[in-house]
DNA sequence: CCCCAGGGCCCGT
DNA sequence: ACGGGCCATGGG
């Protein structure tokens, strides 16, 4: 455990709740590429989630133990009101292959993350790898976010108002600096929140793609992880491999997402996460 | 030197 | 509308 970990885990937080781990793997849920600000402690994890919400998680026996002062927030954040057993059953009925894939990744839960943070995080994610995305997001928080007892919060719109344009060129994000600058100057959380249901997914996607650096894939990730639109299928390089290895091979890349959306319907996003996890492992 | 990473932009057809 | 070149950066 390094120094940073010691600092942020010294305080014993109250156990907010426990939850069966059959359909809630802490490791798989945090490491499947939907969230970037978590830290592996060896026998658990901690993180500053969705702005400035701090929690520590570990598994004991067949239970996930969540320690935080933000009990209600994290019950919703981990979508613990959703019956993933039922979702896995439904997805398993699609095909023998999807049964295998869903069972392999059944510990994954799709998080209800902050829309503002998700937008910036996935602008950074394009043509990038998860390790470097994490490092860049961390630098963004250290440089513009508020300091809290448990680490730096993700910057708010007001925090971005206080940094110079040139700040975004100091993050090591390469050509994405101008995308982040545009989002910092034009995005606001209230407008993003209005893109949740009942706004149709297609309308919300169109709005998101008006941001620089936000194309179909990044928009789908924001819709799925930050705006609770489950009927999307983000297509990245991994999903192209999945399509050509395990499904048909006739469609151009641009048509793969719609193909899988038609196949998987309202649970397309979860199917995509299961396939992503399956392909990467 | 190469290729790849949770892609998107911009330009030609 | 579509396809290909290009784009910063770091790791393998």
CA distance A137 to A118: 11
**CB-to-strand C under 7 Å, chain A 207-236:** none
Which chain C positions have some atom within 7 A of a protein CB? Answer: 2-3, 7-11
In sequence order, the 6+-apart residues with CB closer than 8 A to the CB of A107 are A21, A22, A23, A24, A25, A27, A28, A29
CA distance A281 to A276: 9
Q: Is the CB of A221 under 7 A from strand B?
A: yes
CA distance A43 to A66: 13
pLDDT tens by residue, chain A, 281 residues = 566 666 666 567 999 999 999 999 999 999 999 999 999 999 999 999 999 999 999 999 999 999 999 999 999 999 999 999 999 999 999 999 999 999 999 999 999 999 999 999 999 999 999 999 999 999 999 999 999 999 999 999 999 999 999 999 999 999 999 999 999 999 999 999 999 999 999 999 999 999 999 999 999 999 999 999 999 999 999 999 999 999 987 899 999 999 999 999 999 999 999 999 999 99
**Is the previous residue joined to A198 through a cis bond, with omega within 30 degrees of 0?**
yes
Shortest CA–C1' contact from A126: which nucleotide? B7
R_g (Cα) of chain A, nearest Å = 19
Question: Looking at the C1' of nucleotide C7, which residue has the nearest alpha carbon?
Answer: A175
CA distance A245 to A237: 12
Q: Is the CB of A129 under 7 A from strand B?
A: yes
Dig out the tokens for A225 from the structure.
């992880």
Shortest CA–C1' contact from A169: which nucleotide? C8
Dig out the tokens for A60 from the structure.
């004991």
In sequence order, the 6+-apart residues with CB closer than 8 A to the CB of A8 are A39, A46, A54, A150, A151
**CB-to-strand B under 7 Å, chain A 130-159:** 130-133
Q: Beta-carbon neighbour count of residue A42 at 10 Å?
A: 8
Dig out the tokens for A32 from the structure.
């499947």
**A73 backbone dihedrals φ, ψ, rounded to 5°:** -60, -45
Q: Is the CB of A252 under 7 A from strand C?
A: yes
Per-residue confidence (pLDDT) for residue A155, from 0 to 100: 98
Per-residue confidence (pLDDT) for residue A12, from 0 to 100: 78
Strands A63-67 and A15-20: antiparallel
Find the angle CA(A9)-CA(A109)-CA(A269) to the nearest 5 degrees: 140
Which chain B positions have some atom within 7 A of a protein CB? Answer: 4-9
Task: Report which of A175, A183, A195, A179 is spatially closest to residue A154, judged by C-alpha positions.
Answer: A183
CA distance A121 to A140: 10
Distance A3 CA to B12 C1' (A): 54
Dig out the tokens for A226 from the structure.
């930050």
Task: Report which of A184, A41, A50, A190 is spatially closest to residue A120, judged by C-alpha positions.
Answer: A184
Distance A89 CA to B4 C1' (A): 35
Per-residue confidence (pLDDT) for residue A3, from 0 to 100: 60
What is the pTM (predicted TM-score) of this model?
0.97
In sequence order, the 6+-apart residues with CB closer than 8 A to the CB of A176 are A123, A124, A126, A213
CA distance A167 to A184: 11
Alpha-carbon separation of residue A11 from A6, A101, A149, A152 (angstroms):
9, 39, 10, 16
**A234 backbone dihedrals φ, ψ, rounded to 5°:** -60, 130
Q: Classify residue A81 by burial, with Cβ atoms within 10 Å: 0-12, 13-18, 19+.
A: exposed
**CB-to-strand B under 7 Å, chain A 229-258:** 234, 236-239
**CB-to-strand B under 7 Å, chain A 12-71:** 32-34
Q: Is the CB of A217 under 7 A from strand B?
A: yes
Q: What is residue A119's three-state secondary structure? A: helix
Is residue A194 annotated as part of the catalytic site, yes or no?
A: no
């Amino acid at each position: 455990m390094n120094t940073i970990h010691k600092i942020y885990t010294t305080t014993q937080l109250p156990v907010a709740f426990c939850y069966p781990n059959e359909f809630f793997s802490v490791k798989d849920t945090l490491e499947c590429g939907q969230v970037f600000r978590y830290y592996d402690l060896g026998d658990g994890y901690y993180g500053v989630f969705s702005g400035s919400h701090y929690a520590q998680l570990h598994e004991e026996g067949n239970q996930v133990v969540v320690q935080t002062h933000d009990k209600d927030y994290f019950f919703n954040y981990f979508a613990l009101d959703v019956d993933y057993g039922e979702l896995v059953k439904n997805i398993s009925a699609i095909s023998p292959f999807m049964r295998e894939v869903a069972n392999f990744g059944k510990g994954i839960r799709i998080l209800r993350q902050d829309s503002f943070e998700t937008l910036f995080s996935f602008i950074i994610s394009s043509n990038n790898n998860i390790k470097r995305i994490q490092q860049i997001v961390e630098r963004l928080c250290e440089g513009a976010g508020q300091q809290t007892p448990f680490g730096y919060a993700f910057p708010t719109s007001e925090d971005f108002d206080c940094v110079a344009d040139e700040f975004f060129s100091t993050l090591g994000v390469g050509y994405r600096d101008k995308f982040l600058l545009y989002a910092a100057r034009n995005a606001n959380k209230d407008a993003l929140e209005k893109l949740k249901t009942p706004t149709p997914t297609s309308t919300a996607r169109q709005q998101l793609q008006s941001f620089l650096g936000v194309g179909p894939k990044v928009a789908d990730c924001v819709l799925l992880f930050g705006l609770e639109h489950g009927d999307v299928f983000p297509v990245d390089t991994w999903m192209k491999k999945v399509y050509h290895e395990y499904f048909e091979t006739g469609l151009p890349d641009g048509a793969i997402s719609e193909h899988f959306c038609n196949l998987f319907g309202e649970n397309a996003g979860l199917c995509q996460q299961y396939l992503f996890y399956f392909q990467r492992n």
